[in-house]
Amino acid sequence: MAWVTERLADDGSTRYQGRYRDPFGLKQTVGTFTTERTALRAATKAEGSVADGSWIDPRAGRITFAEYAMDVWLPARHLEVTTRAGYLSYLRNHFVPFFGAMPISRIMPSTVQAWISVAVDKGLSPRSIGKYHVMLHSVFARAVRDRLLAFNPCEDTELPKVVARKGRTLTPEEFASVLDEIPSRFRALVMTDIETGLRWGELVALRPRHLNFLRKTVTVEETIVEVSRKDSPTGERMIVKPYPKNDVSRTLRVSQDLLDVLAERIAELGLGRDDLLFPSREIAGGQPLSRATFNTRYWRPAVQRSGVDFNVRMHDLRHAHASWLLAGGADLKSVMERMGHAQIMTTQKYLHTLPDADDKALAAFESIRSRPAR
């Protein structure tokens, strides 16, 4: 039940404070008024917002974005260490510099839209902006649930359009040209990647115990992720996770030729069962290989020397692996499982990505059309 208390002003006149109890049973005031009736009306309105669930804590809304995001939102999330490190990086580099000192209740849809404009001006890609916006939306959604905000200012934000570009897929001939330019110490790594389609973290986490030479298989059950030491909870830059993406291990068939290459490597380096197959230094017990170091020092120069006339990332070998499988007649379900995809829609994007895929499709059509009728 709302009520009114009297207080004496400095000029000797009587003032009236409207009071009510918030959802936690604590006494709150809606301010001081010159008449008792006005104070009671304001307190009754506030009490009604408590009853219908629309009450917003006026004091809590003064917390700054940085305080809420770093001290409330992030600690409440149940995240893997790598995901937490990524969120810390996003906050530090993209959100705190812009929103940090603002009271969270003062951030409006126009404020978020202004951040989008600044991000575009800084050269962030539409895809990256969309990804960061999803996280920002999550921060404000929690603030709404915590009764700090009446609405989420990220609703109905106008995001830059993501234009899907059809990329080229490396052909077997182009891959052979790149492989010829790869330094000999990394050829086994590149050959393993094209034959398995592993993600980088899965590739550099492989150990001799993951190989079954009798059954001709490679088991993917670990991944290594690289994070900034600033955002790592342990201070480690390379973090070993016991499961690959989607938390599901998988076993892949591989050729005898690849197994022979890997067996020779294990013997030459004297690798034990638990040593990394592709360490940063060619020694048993070596540390994980950095993606950035490999790309900068070895992969990009090899691609340039190969004469391939388009940008090829190491990750594109994974794309090529899936495309070659599908072009060779492998079914979607098998490719999905081999790639470790959670949804078959992800696998379908690799259909018809080789340069001659359309020619093969037309040839198949012509062969059926020209088949004599029975």
Q: What is the CATH number of the domain that holds 203?
A: 1.10.443.10
363 domain residue, yes or no: no
159 domain residue, yes or no: no
Q: In this structure, what CATH number is given to the domain that contains residue 19?
A: 3.30.730
The confidence score (pLDDT) of residue 346 equals 74
- Per DSSP, 277 falls in state S
- Phi and psi at 160, nearest 5°, equal -65, 145
Q: Indicate if 223 and 342 belong to the same structural domain.
A: yes
The confidence score (pLDDT) of residue 255 equals 93
206 domain residue, yes or no: yes
The confidence score (pLDDT) of residue 212 equals 96
CA distance 246 to 141: 25
Q: Indicate if 332 and 198 belong to the same structural domain.
A: yes
Spatial CA neighbour of 244 closest among 149, 135, 342, 163: 342
Count the domains in the chain: 3
- Per DSSP, 295 falls in state I
158 domain residue, yes or no: no
Q: Indicate if 73 and 31 belong to the same structural domain.
A: no
The confidence score (pLDDT) of residue 356 equals 64
pLDDT along the chain (374 residues), means of 10: 84 85 81 86 82 70 88 87 84 94 92 95 93 95 86 93 80 94 96 94 95 94 83 74 74 94 95 94 88 94 93 92 84 84 77 63 60 60
103 domain residue, yes or no: yes
The confidence score (pLDDT) of residue 31 equals 82
Quote the pTM value.
Answer: 0.71
The confidence score (pLDDT) of residue 284 equals 82
Spatial CA neighbour of 102 closest among 120, 89, 115: 115
Q: Indicate if 131 and 35 belong to the same structural domain.
A: no
CA distance 63 to 218: 52
Q: Indicate if 334 and 185 belong to the same structural domain.
A: yes
Q: Which domain holds residue 108?
A: 62-145
Q: Indicate if 129 and 93 belong to the same structural domain.
A: yes
Q: Indicate if 118 and 177 belong to the same structural domain.
A: no
Spatial CA neighbour of 266 closest among 213, 197, 214, 199: 213
The confidence score (pLDDT) of residue 193 equals 95
Q: Indicate if 123 and 12 belong to the same structural domain.
A: no
Residue 318 near residue 193 (C-beta atoms within 8 A): yes
Residue 91 near residue 69 (C-beta atoms within 8 A): yes
The confidence score (pLDDT) of residue 362 equals 55
Beta bridge partners of 288: 279
